[in-house]
């Protein structure tokens, strides 16, 4: 289950316990959207960090490509 799915499920579960079923549809949409923006920002930061960590300049493939390019 993805991070966003877990966040949405936990938000729904928390709201279910604190409000009657009729008031579930009257939730504060601004607060919900704020939490979604924070979740997306954290997710994007994690993905960006993983991409930066994966693209190291001392990667053997990059060194091999550079060596072949210098030989030609």
Element (H, E) at 66: helix 60-71
For residue 65, how far is the Cα from the chain centroid? 32
For residue 58, the 8-state DSSP code is T
CA distance 31 to 21: 19
Q: What is the pLDDT of residues 18-40, one digit of tens each?
A: 655 555 566 678 888 888 999 99
pLDDT at 68: 64
**pLDDT at 3 exceeding the cut of 70:** yes
> Is residue 47 very low, low, confident or very high in pLDDT (cuts 50, 70, 90)?
very high
pLDDT at 36: 92
pTM for this prediction? 0.43
**pLDDT at 58 exceeding the cut of 80:** no
């Amino acid at each position: 289950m993805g991070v966003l799915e877990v966040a949405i499920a936990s938000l729904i579960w928390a709201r279910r316990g604190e409000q009657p079923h009729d008031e579930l549809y009257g939730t504060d949409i601004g607060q919900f959207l704020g939490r979604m923006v924070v979740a997306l920002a954290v997710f994007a930061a994690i993905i960006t960090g993983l991409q930066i960590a994966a693209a190291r300049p001392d990667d053997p493939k990059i060194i091999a490509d550079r060596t072949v390019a210098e030989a030609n």
